[in-house]
Amino acid sequence: ILGLDLGTTEVKAGLVDLEGRLLASARSGYDLRVGHMPGWAEQDPGAWWSAVVGAVRALHPAALVDIVAIGVDGHGPTLAAVDGRGEATRPAITFLDTRAATEAAELAEATGIHGWALGPLPAALWFERNEPEIAALTRWYLTTWEWLAFRLTGEAVAPLVPGQAVPDPAVAAEATGLRTDRRPPDSPMGGVVGTLTETAADALGLRVGIPVAGGTNDAFASYLGAGLLEPGDAYDPGGSAGGFGVYWREPVEVPGAFVTPAPLAGLYSVGAAMAATGRALDWFRDAMVGGDVTTERLLAEAAATPPGADGLVFLPYLAGERSPIWDPTATGAFAGLTLSHGRGHLARSIIEASALAIRHVATPMLAAGVTVTAMRACGGPARSDAWNQVKADVTGFTVLAPDVLETAVLGSAILGAVAIGANSDVRSAIRAMTRIDHRLEPRPEHAETYDRLFAAYTGLYPAIAPVMRPLTAAEPAAEPAGGIRRR
């Protein structure tokens, strides 16, 4: 099965067998355009497709003839506006973009659905109001995973997870004037959207007619690929943005988080999404260190530095922040710097900040009654057991390292397996195709150090935000997180 994960900065393509083994993988990147207008963050869907073609063709040609299904996922909620042929009518408005906060509030008030559960509709409403001539040329308002399935099959559908609440189109249209007929018809996640067209097959080097499964967002795909099945199963995606999610048996009210039906019937996802915790070490390596210093070298220096980095704390708000503060004007900072601190201290403080950010969003979830049995660590950072151990020590959670760290690719493949009937349902596919490689337990001797560090970390933002906000050019407030509004 070919799994395609359309991430924030790159697409990952993987070949996965029906036992969940990752046989081959490749990736190809694209740009994220930010800063050209306050609060804007856009991408070129044409660059997405070029990257998909490049990544798939980088896989071993001999293996491509054996593909029996394709699964897809993507970042979001992102708006991809296309005409009837699938050509973009404007750059995609990504989930990092904050221009449509007013429209999101209007739609939430009208429909009772708010935050990320509104999908691409707030951006679409902004589009219609501010670029009406271009909007008039648009046939479909698609998410990234809907867009990718459309490019592959020519079919526009909106796959939904079980029990997913969506805005009532008639209510949204009447209250705001939004052209809701530009959203595609609903379909089940993991159902067959269509089959690979001749045009797409020629571009990718695949055979015509391969079934394509209805996908989901990259977070949910990662949950599937990480093996989350029960209440209390938690997940750290480890991507460029960063995040945290946990399954629970019922919806709960958690400030700064969003609650939606999970991609498994009968469960809810209590989730949080950061902006740049995963990219912070790359930024430090490229912008501050330079030369030929590798990430592995920085990780080794961080591991050789004492827990707490000798009193240094890093605030990883390099692109504003989403959960739990939802403030695009937030800025990053190193606090506690002295002449005794070196590169290893700074690297460790960045790694610890990624774990402190998880603890920051998890704390109100725990206060709301959610429990965490264990947290699966995935993505690039999970390749480092030193980083995984920091996350265990800082959060107090047992950390599990899955056998396949590219969990979104595996999750998309799981949906492909379900679509062709290789597994009877998503749960059975997860059991058949996911495994845990090893586990790391929190070390109690470091708990006091990290309690003090967490207090400093959570105190930094309210202390420096009033000082720094007048210096930023971003909008003063971001769209709040959310899911189902309980009335």
The two structure tokens encoding residue 365: 């979830």
Closest CA to 392 of 346, 366, 360, 355: 355
Q: Measuring CA to CA, which residue among 84, 68, 58, 101 is closest to residue 328?
A: 101
Going 282 to 283 to 286 to 292, the CA torsion angle's sign is: negative
**Confidence at 471, pLDDT banded by 50, 70, 90:** confident
Residue 256 resides in a domain: no
pLDDT band, residue 476 (cuts 50/70/90): very low
Kindly report, residue by residue over 113-142, the tens digit of the pLDDT.
877 789 999 999 999 999 999 999 999 999
Percent with pLDDT over 90 in the chain = 82
Q: What is the pLDDT of residue 98?
A: 84
Residue 481 pLDDT exceeds 80: no
Confidence of residue 65 (pLDDT cuts 50, 70, 90): confident
Residue 383, domain member (yes or no): no
Amino acid type, 157: V
The closest of 196, 163, 169, 167 to 181, measured between CA atoms, is: 169
What pLDDT is attached to residue 166? 84
Using the structure block, give the residue that is written with the tokens 């492909």: 416
Two structure tokens written together for 375: 């947290």
What pLDDT is stored for residue 39 in this prediction?
83
Higher pLDDT among residues 370 and 482, named by residue = 370
C-alpha 252/C-alpha 166 separation (Å) is: 18
Q: Is the pLDDT of residue 477 over 80?
A: no
- Does the structure show a pLDDT above 50 at 487? no
Asked, for residue 315, whether it belongs to a domain, the answer is: no
> Looking at residue 41, what is its pLDDT?
92
The closest of 328, 349, 371 to 468, measured between CA atoms, is: 328
Q: How many Cα atoms within 13 Å fall on the side-chain side of residue 335?
A: 19
- Is residue 333 in a domain? no
**183 within 8 A of 128, measured Cβ to Cβ:** no
Query: CA-to-CA distance for 58 and 61, rounded, in angstroms?
Result: 8
Band (pLDDT 50/70/90 cuts) for residue 415 is very high
In a domain, 145, yes or no: yes
Burial 130-164 (b: 16+ CB within 10 A, else e): eeeeebeebbbbbbbbbbbbbbbbbbbbbbbbeeb
Average pLDDT of 291-309?
96
Express each pLDDT in 198-215 by its tens digit.
Answer: 999 999 999 999 999 999
pLDDT of residue 388: 96
DSSP element (H, E) containing 239: none
Tens digit of pLDDT for each residue in 309-366? 999 999 999 988 989 998 878 999 999 999 999 999 999 999 999 999 999 999 999 9
Region of poorest pLDDT, from 162-171, 199-208, 258-267? 162-171
Poorest-confidence range of 130-139, 184-193, 422-431, 467-476?
467-476
CATH no. for residue 20? 3.30.420.40
Taking CA atoms, 47 is separated from 54, 146, 154, 454, 482, in Å, by 10, 16, 18, 40, 30
Q: Is residue 378 part of a domain?
A: no
Q: What share of the chain is helix, strand, coil (3-state, %, to 5)?
A: 40, 20, 40
Q: pLDDT grade, residue 473 (50/70/90)? A: low
Per-residue tokens: 401 = 């390292």
Average pLDDT, rounded, for the chain: 93
Q: Is the pLDDT of residue 105 over 70?
A: yes
How far apart (Å, rounded) are the C-alpha atoms in residues 45 and 88?
Answer: 7
- Comparing C-alpha atoms, which of 358, 351, 377 is closest to residue 279? 351
Residue 235 makes CB contacts below 8 A (sequence gap 6+) with 222, 223, 226, 228, 244, 245, 246, 375, 376, 378
Report, as an integer, the average pLDDT of 68-93: 97
Give the count of domains, the chain: 1
pLDDT value of residue 478: 44
Residue 219 has pLDDT above 80, yes or no: yes
Position 470 scores a pLDDT of 87
Containing domain of residue 23, as a range?
2-217
Residue 283 falls inside a structural domain? no
Q: What is the rounded distance in angstroms from the CA atom of residue 362 to the CA atom of residue 381?
A: 19
CB-based contacts of 304, cutoff 8 Å, min separation 6: 344
Which residue reads 């089959």 in tokens?
A: 195
Residue 486 has a pLDDT of: 32
Report if residue 257 sits inside a domain.
Answer: no
User: Inter-axis angle of helices 447-468 and 385-395, to 10 degrees?
Assistant: 90
Q: Which residues contact 209 (CB under 8 A, 6 or more apart)?
A: 195, 196, 201
SS3 per residue for 356-393: HHHHHHHHHHHHCCCCCCEEEECCHHHHCHHHHHHHHH
Q: What angle do CA 394, 398, 404 make, to 5 degrees?
A: 110
